[in-house]
Amino acid sequence: MKITVEQLAAMIPSNKEVEAWCEELNKAFPKYKIETPQRIAGFISQCAHESRDFTALEENLNYSEKALNAVFGRYFGPGKRNAAEYARNPEKIANYVYMDEFRSKGGALGNTQPGDGWRFRGKGMKQVTGRGNFTRFGAAFGMSAEEAADWAETKEGALASALWFWDANNLNAIADTGDVKALTKKINGGDIGLDDRQRRYSVAMQALTGDIPPRAKATETLRRGSTGDGVKQIQRKLGLAADGDFGPGTEAAVKKWQAANGLTADGIVGPSTIAKMLG
C-alpha cells in the first residue's frame, strides 16, 4: 500500500514539505514491510508526535526551571540538583540527565564519555537517544556512532534512524494489534504524550481507510456556534474530541493556542489562525 500526498497531509498537517516526505516514505516502507494501514498509521503517528509533524529532527532541551522540575523530577528538586542552575541551557541539561553515571542501570544509554549526553541527545523522527543506540544504528549503515548522530539531523538520516529503530524492535508486530499504548511504551519507555499519539493514530487510520476530512479553508471564519468538518479539523489539531461543534471548550482551547502562538486570543478562528494552525 502506498500513501498519497493528501493522506500524509492529513497526518502531518503543519508540515510544509509533504510531497517530498511522501516520496521518501513510499520508497522506504516496502523494505521494512510497513505496507498495511495499521503499520503505516502506527509508524507515522508515533514519528509525527516525536518530531512535531516531521519538522523537529533533534530534541529541544531548552527547558525552563519549572519545566525541568516537571519533566525531569528524578534529577531536579528537593535533595537533588537545583533546576535554576540548568534552566535554558540545553547542553548542560543533556550532559546531566542523559549521562549513565546519573541514571539507573535500567536507564543506561551508553553515555560514558564527556559530552555524550549532548552529542547523543534525541535525534531523528523517532528521537533515537544515547551512544548505545547510535552505535547500533550506525553499525547497520557502516558508520560510527558520531557519524550516525550527525546523519540523524538530516532528513534522510532522520527517517533512516526511525525505520531502523522500528525494525530492530519488531514494532510491526505491535502495530498489527492496533495497540497504541503498547507501541508508545516500546518507543517512549512510558506513556508520555499518549493522548496525542492516540489522536494522531485515529486521524491516520481515517485518512488511510476512509474519507479524508476536508481541511478548513483559509478564507472561512469559525467561532462559537460553528459546526462541520472545518471545526473538526481545528479540534483535532488542538487535541480535542472532534465532534464538529464549536462550543465553549473549543473556544477556550483556541484562545489558549492563539495566546501561545502570538495571535490575538479572541477565540475566533479566522484566516490568520487557520493559516498558522494548519499551514
- Residue in 157, 146, 89, 149 with CA at minimum distance from that of residue 122: 149
With contact defined as beta carbons under 8 Å apart, do 43 and 186 qualify? no
The class that CATH gives domain 229-278 is mainly alpha
Nearest 10 degrees: Cα torsion 18, 23, 29, 35: 80
Q: Strand, helix or coil at 241? A: coil
Query: In the chain, what are the helix, strand and coil shares in percent, each to the nearest 5?
Result: 55, 5, 40
Q: Tens digit of pLDDT per residue, the chain (279 long)? A: 899 999 999 999 999 999 999 999 999 999 999 999 999 999 999 999 999 999 999 998 999 999 999 989 999 999 999 999 999 999 999 999 999 999 988 889 999 999 999 999 999 999 899 999 999 999 999 999 999 999 999 999 999 999 999 999 999 999 999 999 999 999 887 888 888 999 999 999 999 988 555 555 555 789 999 988 888 888 888 888 888 899 999 999 999 999 988 888 999 998 888 888 876
Cell of 205: 487510520
CA separation for the pair 55, 53 (Å, rounded): 6
CA separation for the pair 246, 131 (Å, rounded): 47
Residue extents of the structural domains in the chain: 5-56+150-209, 65-121, 229-278
With contact defined as beta carbons under 8 Å apart, do 257 and 240 qualify? no
pTM, 2 dp: 0.70
